[in-house]
Amino acid sequence: MSKNKKVAIIVDQLFQDSEVTDPKEKVENAGFKVEIIGPNTTEEYIGKKGTKIKADKSIDDVSAGDYIGLVIPGGWAPDKMRMNIKMVKLIEEINAKNKPIACICHGGSMLVEADVVKGKRLTSYASIRTDLINAGARWSDKEVVVDGNLITSRTPADLPAFCAEFLKVLSLIEV
């Protein structure tokens, strides 16, 4: 497998379990390598429903050039991740390279923090709708919205459409 066929999933404590495990499984089954990126590699990250994972890499050891795409899961982890300047910078850099960013549920708060939503059509969990609109996004209540390199969805119920659209975008990338 080409080293350029890597996709990152960023995590912190209290991620939405299926919003990490489902995209990871689907992306790996499509032939890509997935790396879980956390604040460090020593801590065990526990999802809202109890899934335990360790990060493959620390945010300190990665850069936008390492990956062809990024998944930002929801849950309560984005509230922690948006306080980590290195995670925010990774999103800014991946966006600047026009690489796909798949963001679901509360993950949209990371896009707000990275200041990449102005003028973009997005969806999210309903509770951050106003945050996205105030940051300049055009929000709609749909299971998946694709605008350029941003793929967004609302909740775990949208995971099939979310994963399908992300894989469709990844399949267009020449590596």
For residue 159, give both structure tokens. Answer: 């995971």
- Report CA-CA distances (Å) from 139 to 105, 109, 136: 13, 13, 9
**Domain-wise residue ranges, the chain:** 6-171
Tens digit of pLDDT for each residue in 44-74? 999 999 999 999 999 999 999 999 999 999 9
Question: What digits encode the pLDDT tens for the residues 109-129?
Answer: 999 999 999 999 999 999 999
Phi-psi region of 70 (alpha: psi -120 to 50; beta: other; left: phi over 0): beta
Q: What distance separates the 2 farthest-apart alpha carbons in the chain? A: 42
Q: Which of 1-10, 136-145, 157-166 bottoms out in mean pLDDT, i.e. has the lowest?
A: 1-10
The band of 2, judged by pLDDT with boundaries at 50, 70 and 90, is very low
- pLDDT of 173 > 90? The answer is no
| Per-residue tokens: 127 | 């509770």
Cite the active site residues: 105-106
Separation CA 81–CA 68 (nearest Å) = 20
CA distance 128 to 133: 9
- Whether the per-residue pLDDT at 1 is higher than 90: the answer is no
What is the model's pTM? 0.97
* Three-point CA angle 152, 142, 127, nearest 5°: 70
- CATH code for the structural domain at 6-171: 3.40.50.880
- Three-state SS for 76? coil
Strands in 2-72 per DSSP E: 6-10, 33-38, 44-46, 52-54, 57-58, 69-72
Distance of CA 98 to the CA centre of its chain: 14
